[in-house]
Amino acid sequence: MHKKKLVAAGLVAALTLGIAGAAFAYFTATGSGTGNATTGTATPWTVTAAPATGMMFPGGGVSTVPFTVTNPNAGALTYTTLTAAVPADTDGNITSGGAPVVGCLASWFTAVAGTPSVGPGSIAGGGSFTVAVAVMMGDSGTNQDPCQGATPDVTLTVS
C-alpha cells in the first residue's frame, strides 16, 4: 500500500509539473496587414467681391473693389500670391458683367491687390480674409470716351 501511495504521489507531482509547464509553453508568430487611409481633395478658394467705392477717369482717381477670400475646406489651405487684373475679351476690350465694352481697352487699366488682412500663409478650414483691389485708368493720350460710365470686371486670383 505504501507503494500505491508513492506511485499516486509521483503521478500527482508529474501532472502538477506538466500543467505548470503547460502554463509556460507558448508559440510565437508575426503577422501584418495593409489598409488604406483616405485623403481629401482641396476645393478651390471662394472669392467674392463687394461693390466698388471711388471713381476713376483717364489719368486719375481710384476705384477700390473689396474682396473676401474664404477657405471652404475642412482643412487648412495655403496661399502665397494674390493677382488682380482687369480682364480683356479677345479684341482687348474690357468686359463688364462678362460682356465686352467695345473701344474701352483693358490695357488702359491697372489693378493692384492691396495687403491682405491675413497671410500670406495658411488659412484654417472655414476661415477667410479680405483684400482690397485698387483699379486705376491710365491716360492713353487718345479718345477714351467708350469707357465713360463703364464698370470694368475685376478679377482676383488666389494661388
Domains of the chain, by residue range, sit at: 46-158
Please check whether residue 22 is in contact with residue 104, taking contact to mean a CB–CB distance below 8 angstroms.
no
Separation in Å, CA 148 to CA 6, 58, 65, 109:
122, 10, 18, 13
**Which regions of the chain are under pLDDT 50?**
7
One-letter amino acid for residue 121 of the chain: G
Pull the grid cell for residue 142. 487718345
Q: Is the pTM of this model over 0.75?
A: yes
Q: What is the pLDDT of residue 8?
A: 52
Q: What is the pLDDT of residue 115?
A: 95
- Considering the chain, what percentage of its residues have pLDDT values greater than 70? 85
Q: What is the pLDDT of residue 27?
A: 85
Q: What is the pLDDT of residue 5?
A: 56
- Rounded CA-CA distance 41/92 in Å is 36
**Dmax over Cα atoms in the chain, in whole Å?**
134
- Rounded CA-CA distance 114/87 in Å is 18
